[in-house]
Structure formats: C-alpha cells, structure tokens
Structure 1
Amino acid sequence: MLNSALYQGVVSHRRFKPVDHLLNYKMFYFLIDLDELGKLEKNIAFFSIDKPNLISFHHKDYGENNPPDIKEYVLNKLKSEGVEAEVSRISMLCLPRIFGYAFNPITTYYCYSQSNHLVAIVYEVSNTFGERHSYVFEINNRTNEKFLKHSCDKEFYVSPFMPMDCRYKFTVLPPSQDVSLAIRQFHLDEPILNASFMGSRYSLTSKSLATALLKFPFNGLKVIIGIHWEALKLWIKGLKIVARPKKVTVQNTQEK
C-alpha cells in the first residue's frame, strides 16, 4: 500500500482587518511520499517526473535555487536549521503541475523517523515573485495531542496587502484519513487572517486521479487566478500596498 494519496477538500481564507473578506475554493492536493515517485510514474500513465504530461512533478518547482532532488534538499534544510532527529521518510502536501502549470502558496513537508514518528515539519511558502522561504519546526514526540501547534514570526514577504510585523500560529492535523492545516496570522496580537486546507484522503491511482482531474481540471491555475482576482477586490475595497521591508528576525516555537 502506498503512503502517497490524494486529498480532496476546501481551501479557505478569511481576512478580518482592515476589511472583512472571505473566499473558499474546492481543490485537491497530492500527498507524495518522495520515495514513491518512481512507483507513481510507473503506475499512472499520465503522471511523469521532471517531464511533460497531463500531471507532472518537477523537483525544481519546490525548494530554493531549483534543487535537483527535493528530498535531499529538505534533509539539508533540516540540518541547517539545527534539527537533530534522524529522518527516514518525507511526505509532501503539494500541488503538482497540471497541464504544465503549478503554483504552491504553501508546500508542507512531513518528516518521519524510521519508526514512522513525525519528527519535523517544514512549511515552504511561495510568493508570486518567484521566491520561496521555509519555516522549520522540530516536533516534540512526547506530545499525545491529535493536533500539533507551533508559531513563528513572519519573515517572508507574501501578500502586498499584509504587514510584515506579524506572527503565524499553525494548527496541524498530520495526514491520515483526513488532513488539516490552519494558519492564523496576527498583527499587534490581533487576528487579521485565517487560512486553511481541510481534506479527505483518497487512494492515489489512475482512476482516482482521473476523477479528481475531471472535477478540478484547472486546480493549479485556479490558485494563481484566485490570488490576483482577490487582490484586485481588496484593492477596490481600499487596501494600501505594503512595500517590501528589510529582513526581520524570526523566532520559531512549538506550542505546548
């Protein structure tokens, strides 16, 4: 049985300040065990690795500076951030290329030990300027909580309508039958944005992928069109553009 899967669900964004704004999109995400890429390419005729197809996975679409191997890149990122736990397996929640196009506002890497314990999570954030930045958290395996919670200062410029002096709070249900990722953004200790994806698991097969593609044929394109469409509506509502700031020091913490 594959660790890789499809998750169909809903992406939600709710802005509270300075104006109220809500959006919901039905989408599907891939959960890809990076050790299973070869099997997926072999088993699904219209899925390819690093070459064109109806649906494809390109290593250079993730990480910084176009890494040739994304698993090796994540392992090196963990080490550079001081994560000491041994990582055996990495699953990533992402949008692949569909009809040659993909844009991932956030890619989440779930890093497991040889005994299949979740030992680290990496959130890779992308902006529409072609830049990416990762927030890395080592997981305290002593916790028995169903949902994981951690937080960090915002370090990376994403939306031109969001200030930089913010703090993120993550609430995560690691992939199982369901998956959930919620990010709350705070400014001056007040919530200004909630963003989330909640989805249900489906086996990753040619049939299930074809069904998802028929339901959501413009899955990836919907994201980038939605970003610009929502930005236009926010601008019409009177929001001012926030200029790119200088570098901000980040502090990551896992909440108890």
Structure 2
Amino acid sequence: MELLFLLGSIIWNTVISLALSLLLPFRLLLRWLLPSDDDGGLTLYEGVVWHERRRPVHHSFQYNVRYALIDLDCSPLSSSSSNHFSADEARQIAETSGPVSLLTIPPSVGYEQNPLSLYYCYELEDSTASLKKCIAEVTNTPWGERVTFVFDPSSDVVAKALHVSPFMDMQGSWKMKATAPGRDLSVVISVQHPDLGEHFCAVLRAQRVSSSNAPDQMFFFWLMPHKVAVWIYWHALKLWWKSVSFVQHPRYSYPAYREEAVSLDKKLNCCKAGVYGTSGVCLREDKDVVGHQFSWTDAKWPWS
C-alpha cells in the first residue's frame, strides 16, 4: 500500500512541478520588470554532498547541491508561514542570545525536499557573535517525519532518533560536526553502529556564491529539491540491487523506538571523560547531564 502511495505522490508532484515550471518565465519577467534590492537576508551556497556506506556492502556516491543560508532576523520567515523555526523560536530552543541563520534548500515549483536543515545559533560576547549551538532538523524520505535537536557544532554524539533509511536500522548514534558559514561551510555526519562500527558517513561541503555572480533565486534553486529526491530513490534501488537488507519502519515493529533513543542519548551524554565500551555506550554516569531534547513531527497523510 505504501508503494502505491509513493507512486501516487511522485506522479502528483511531477504534474504540479511541471505546471509551475511553465509559469516560471512569467514570474522571472515580473521580477525583472519590478526589481528589488532586498535579498531577504539570503546568501547562496553551492557545493557537493558525498555519501559512503562501508558495511555490510560498500556503496558511495556524490551529487551537486545548492543551499540558501537565511538570516532569520532579517527574513520574513516565520513559523506561521513556514515549516521551519523563526529566529526567536530557535534562540529559545538553543538558549542563545545572538543571530540565527538557517541553512536549507528552499521549495522549488511546489516541492520541498530537505533531508537536513541546520540552524546556526550564535552567542553575543563583548559585541561579537560566535557560533554556540546548532539545531539539526532531520527529515526522512518518503515519510516526511522530522526530528529536531540541539548539538554542539565543534563535535557531538547523538543517539539515532529517526528512521532515515529503509536500509539502515535504528541502532547506534550520529557523530556530528559543522563549521560556521563563511566563504565556505562543511557538515560531517558519521554513523556509529554497535555491530558494524563506523559504517556510514555523509559530508556536505559548499562555497558561497559571489553576490555579483548570483543568478535569480528561482532559477538557482529550480528543481533542486527534485534532484535530491531522485538521488535518494535511485541509490535506494541500487542498495536493494546489492541485496542490502530492507528494514521495516520501527513504528510497525517497535513503537517504543523514540523512548529508546532518548534513553540511549542520555547514556551517550553521561560520560564527560569520553570512556566508551565496545557497544559505544558510556561506561560512567553523570545524572546532571541532559540529552539532546528531541522533538518529533509525525508523518502526514497518507504516510500517517
């Protein structure tokens, strides 16, 4: 049944995107006739996403990607008109006082696909702002479920809290690191599994697009979400062809997976000395250490 829903969703989004793409030249003409100097606090980035799965079979690929870095204090983006947090909401979650920027792939011709969006939350110190925390916003495909959590961008370990791939189980943790956006930026995520070790790694590296060479935003991001979705589905087929085991969504087989992720996350964060056993679980306990405060958004119809 879910396969039928998936095919229907692909067909529906294709039709809508085709219709809106036909209108795109008229929208571009209107913006050319009525130009605006306001960039909405938006900076363009272009780079590469690289994935490598080392076990149980080796599989790697990379694709070009385009991102927008949005200054949420300058942008009209708000929770009432967007699926993302506003600047004040992000500051409250991260417990910071400075500017907030959102790295994301904007919707294009009626479609949005964002496996990962990042909020960069800065702290004001002596009239200067330094990157203090990041908020990860992880969304799985095709269900559209989402989990958000705060992490330390210098380096952090977070219990796996979302079924992001039907070819990967829920065991293990994410090791995450992100640099502050400047002329370039990077995000590195590796998966530590109790049996397979560090068996998966995903890396984003991007460079800022010069404002003098920046194209129109609608053209720059045209079909970018669609390309990301195509890469996800295409390499899922390749993994299936390589006989990688299919893992059913834990909501069917183990509904308490979220509570287990919270429990594992507390264990991972209880050890300040970083002493871990072979299973990746901390060997010491510190009851004062708090986990990453996960917040989940359930799948919408027809996946709910």
TM-score calculated relative to the size of structure 1: 0.75
SS state of the match for residue 222, structure 1?
Answer: helix
Give unmatched runs, 5+ long, in structure 1.
39-48, 51-56, 63-68, 140-147
Cα distance between partner residues in 2 of 1:111 and 1:241: 37
Match of 1:107 in 2: 117
Higher relative contact order (CA 8 A, sep 6+): 1
> Retained in 2: the 8 A contact 1:103–1:221?
yes
Q: How does 1:11-90 map to 2 (within 5 A)?
A: 11-38=49-76, 59-62=81-84, 70-78=86-94, 83=95, 86-90=96-100
1:175 equivalenced with 2:184 (yes/no): no
> Retained in 1: the 8 A contact 2:152–2:177?
no
Match of 1:44 in 2: none
Question: Alignment length, in residue pairs?
Answer: 218
Cα distance between partner residues in 2 of 1:152 and 1:211: 34
SS state of the match for residue 35, structure 1?
Answer: coil
Residue 102 of structure 1, CA deviation: 1.5
Corresponding letter in the other structure for 1:61: N
Match of 1:184 in 2: 190
1:130 equivalenced with 2:144 (yes/no): yes
Identity %: 30
Residue 217 of structure 1, CA deviation: 3.5
Match of 1:91 in 2: 101
Cα distance between partner residues in 2 of 1:211 and 1:4: 10
Cα distance between partner residues in 1 of 2:86 and 2:217: 27
Match of 2:134 in 1: 121
Residue 204 of structure 1, CA deviation: 5.2
> Retained in 2: the 8 A contact 1:4–1:204?
no
TM-score calculated relative to the size of structure 2: 0.64
More strand by share: 1
Cα distance between partner residues in 2 of 1:102 and 1:255: 41
Cα distance between partner residues in 2 of 1:4 and 1:77: 22
Residue 100 of structure 1, CA deviation: 2.1
Match of 2:25 in 1: none
Change (3 A) 1:233 1:101: same
Cα distance between partner residues in 2 of 1:59 and 1:237: 42
CA RMSD of aligned residues (A): 2.9
More helix by share: 2
Corresponding letter in the other structure for 2:149: Y
